[in-house]
Structure 1
Amino acid sequence: MTLIHSALIETLGWHFALSKRRLATLAALIARLAQSRSVNLSHLAVHLCGPAQHASKYRRLQRFFQFVRLDQAVAAQLVVYMLNLERPKYLALDRTNWKLGSRDINILMLAIVTRRFRVPLLFTLLPHQGNSDTGHRVALMRRYLSLFPAASIRCLLADREFIGAEWMDFLNENDIPFAIRVKVDMTVTLEDGRAWSLATLLRRRRARCATLVGHINGTAGTTCEPLRFAAKRLGTGEWLIVATNRPDPKQALNDYRKRWGIECLFGDTKTRGLNIEDTHITNPEKLASLIVVVMLAITWAYRCAATTTVAGSATTMMAGGGSPVRPGRREGRSPDRRAGLTGGRDRSPCEGALIGARGVVVSEHLSNIAAIGTDGWPPHHRSTGTSLHVSASSPHPGRCGRQGRYQRT
């Protein structure tokens, strides 16, 4: 067991009331997710260390999800603690779903999106396919408010699925600032009492941007407090309209762009990252524990990458010892760009925080996260003193080819 692995077990032990063996299994799951890039238990078992047979390791993981239930509230507080996100932050609300046979997996997710991080925070497994309703959204936000104050929310961002007078009244009553995209055919009541559709109000607007004030009309009535609307005509001619309770609607329209971070997060957890759709778990309680493990794996990846890059470290991981490698020419970028955590190409934690971006890609923070020692490398790289890295243009370490191959240095 490595020092980093021991530190991870100690950190988890402060928050989760689990036995020492269960904590070791949880830490191994978090570390091996970075290595296997799949939540499939059979694939994860291949990467577990130890002399036990694959069937024994697989059964160990099965027993973990059979008997262990990880608390979302504890995990959410751990995410905020590990990433030092106590300051007001942007939250994004969205839903992702996939099918496993005839079963619909439908997740309502609340995530933190910042310039450097996009991590899950709280979620609800919906018992049906399709959109969420106001009750599920309100319940999810109440769970957040039971853990963190409303002042910790800089702005709540959501798309056109999350609209409704009752829902927005709830956000207003709890002093939660929001910027939510609304449909162009929605009806609003202006201050003079007349009701118009947004499409009608914007029909004769020649400017690319427009603002107005009014009450949203819903099935249960209109919003109690007036909302501000900011609209921008896109290149396709379609209007992007954002409703907000903030005093500056144009700033809310600008902040709404950050909502795309949760879409990138879904890519991180799916095909571009940890492949959560590979799971065959359908039991809601077991699936919730698996999602918490994925949350912690992404957080641990970002934590290790941030610690490494802020310190200016571009040390190549040593397979059995050796000296650091001097950073390449393309590593003269900001730590965030090297870690793949900022704009431009949207990288997953595995592509960015774990692998590094456009530089020496098998770096020290990969050893911090995966903690694989020498057993995880190909046999011909296990000699003492061999430094490994992948060519700067390689997006996938370990894949042979013209742009991605192991090199001895």
Structure 2
Amino acid sequence: MTSLSLADLSKLLSPHLPLGKSRLDTLCLVVLGMISARTVNLTLIATEWPGRAKVASTYRRLQRFFQKVSLPNDWAAGIVIALIGKPPSWYLCLDRTNWKLGKTDINVLVLAVVTARYRVPLMWTVLDHAGNSNTAQRIALVKRYLKQFDVSCVRMLLADREFIGQEWLVFLADAKVPFAIRLKEDQIVRTQDGRLLALKWLLRRCKGVRGFTATLPGRDGHRDLELHFGARRIKGGQELLIVASATKASGSHILRKYKKRWSIECLFADCKTRGLNLEDTHLRCPNRLHLLFGILAVSVALINRAAAQLLGLKHPARKKHGHYAKSWFRTGFDVFRKALACGNLAGIIPTRIPKLRLQRQGVV
């Protein structure tokens, strides 16, 4: 990494962040340092500083940055969207990533944007407990999203069996957020002929793909919710994959959309062992973790943009089994790290990105 690389990134981000020059340079060091060193560990990032300062001095500078700097809650969202090119619509994937630091549980609820080429964290909540998120936390995260973006830019919200519940699904339906969410086999529904049955009993003879419509009975003061289902057997017929959507569609269509949920699992791998080694952090404070996750999101967006610029309209090469030889992320990661080693980011990062006014503006 060279001083020129830091200056280029600082010039790119300065219109978008309310930081002085010293703090902005430190943020840029963290962004480029975690890409170059393949870790978010501040001790290792400190060795990437191109100046004459001692490593210990740079490390203390990084510590002070995370102690003192406070940015708006969703400060990275506008930068991420500007970097990936303002797609007209996208899929949203909701999931948690968690690990332990000593006896401390690090637990982050992440809302990621997925397009044909990109999978990038957009908004997140650092949870103060281990285990699943609750309904209030999920609703609060989606409300934050809807304050910044119009609902029309959501092609589908995708989530696994952890993210269920009457209040949660009714909220999404009332907010007109299209969704495809996997339900548990023991979920009780009301069939069109009025019977109350568990899904596993209703689908006991399911072979191939099955599509049907049923109602989720209202509980705890919530209204009934009519849902459209796609179902099929997986794992050699031992388990049912049951996906529900409030949008009228065939069972095969719902299942096909739900397959894109796996993108967020790939994103977590990009952020962890296959890329930036997020679990190397020693930060425990929720505010500092929130800031670190924002910097991570900017780094991932820059890497994905580098892949898109390299490949243009092409796709990565595929092997004989049909899978990519390198993912979009890995392609951009290698290109970006090579450019950092050569000290020349020209053509890798743009000279400027538009300053988006996100408040209810969608991505137009």
CA offsets 1:140-198 (integer angstroms, 9 cap, x no match): 00000000000010000000000111111111111100000011111101233221111
Q: Which has the higher contact order (CA 8 A, sep 6+)?
A: 2
Structure 1: distance between partners of 2:342 and 2:286: 31
Deviation at 1:129, TM superposition (A): 0.6
Partner of 1:407: none
CA offsets 1:250-300 (integer angstroms, 9 cap, x no match): 212101111001001111111111111111110111111111111111111
CA offsets 1:292-320 (integer angstroms, 9 cap, x no match): 11111111111222223328xxxxxxxxx
Q: How does 1:9-408 map to 2 (within 5 A)?
A: 9-205=10-206, 207-217=207-217, 220=220, 224-237=224-237, 238-249=239-250, 250-310=252-312, 334-337=314-317, 344=324, 347=327, 349=329, 351-355=330-334, 363=335, 365-368=336-339, 370=340, 373=343
Deviation at 1:204, TM superposition (A): 2.4
Amino acid at match of 1:225: L
* Equivalent residues of 1:273, 1:348 under 8 A apart: no
**Please, what TM-score do these two structures have when normalized by structure 1?**
0.78
* Equivalent residues of 2:182, 2:242 under 8 A apart: yes
For 1:109, what is the secondary structure of its paired residue? strand
Amino acid at match of 1:264: C
Structure 2: distance between partners of 1:153 and 1:164: 21
Q: 1:7 to 1:50 in 2, by over 3 A?
A: closer
* Equivalent residues of 1:124, 1:140 under 8 A apart: yes
Deviation at 1:47, TM superposition (A): 1.3
Partner of 1:8: 9
For 2:106, what is the secondary structure of its paired residue? strand
Structure 2: distance between partners of 1:336 and 1:122: 28
Structure with greater Cα Rg: 1
* Equivalent residues of 1:165, 1:222 under 8 A apart: yes
Amino acid at match of 1:354: F
* Equivalent residues of 1:5, 1:371 under 8 A apart: no
Partner of 2:353: none
Partner of 2:349: none
Amino acid at match of 1:146: K
* Equivalent residues of 2:89, 2:154 under 8 A apart: yes
Partner of 2:352: none
* Equivalent residues of 1:90, 1:154 under 8 A apart: yes
Structure 1: distance between partners of 2:63 and 2:18: 19
Structure 1: distance between partners of 2:222 and 2:186: 15
For 2:110, what is the secondary structure of its paired residue? strand
Identity of aligned residues (%): 42
Structure 2: distance between partners of 1:337 and 1:34: 23
Q: 1:167 to 1:345 in 2, by over 3 A?
A: farther
**Please, what TM-score do these two structures have when normalized by structure 2?**
0.87
Gaps of at least 5 residues in structure 1 are 312-333, 356-362, 375-409
Amino acid at match of 1:210: R
Gaps of at least 5 residues in structure 2 are 345-364
Amino acid at match of 1:291: F
Structure 2: distance between partners of 1:335 and 1:34: 23
* Equivalent residues of 2:117, 2:328 under 8 A apart: no
Structure 1: distance between partners of 2:232 and 2:222: 24
CA offsets 1:229-258 (integer angstroms, 9 cap, x no match): 110122421211100012214212101111
Amino acid at match of 2:236: T
Q: 1:345 to 1:245 in 2, by over 3 A?
A: farther
* Equivalent residues of 2:227, 2:246 under 8 A apart: yes
Amino acid at match of 2:332: A
Q: 1:62 to 1:178 in 2, by over 3 A?
A: same
Q: 1:337 to 1:142 in 2, by over 3 A?
A: farther
The alignment's C-alpha RMSD in Å is: 2.2
Deviation at 1:120, TM superposition (A): 0.3
Amino acid at match of 2:304: Y
* Equivalent residues of 1:36, 1:43 under 8 A apart: yes
Amino acid at match of 2:139: V
Structure 2: distance between partners of 1:75 and 1:353: 20
Q: 1:118 to 1:288 in 2, by over 3 A?
A: same
CA offsets 1:295-352 (integer angstroms, 9 cap, x no match): 11111111222223328xxxxxxxxxxxxxxxxxxxxxx34449xxx95467483x33
* Equivalent residues of 1:165, 1:221 under 8 A apart: no
Structure 1: distance between partners of 2:328 and 2:292: 18
Structure 2: distance between partners of 1:198 and 1:146: 35
Structure 2: distance between partners of 1:49 and 1:287: 25
For 1:247, what is the secondary structure of its paired residue? coil
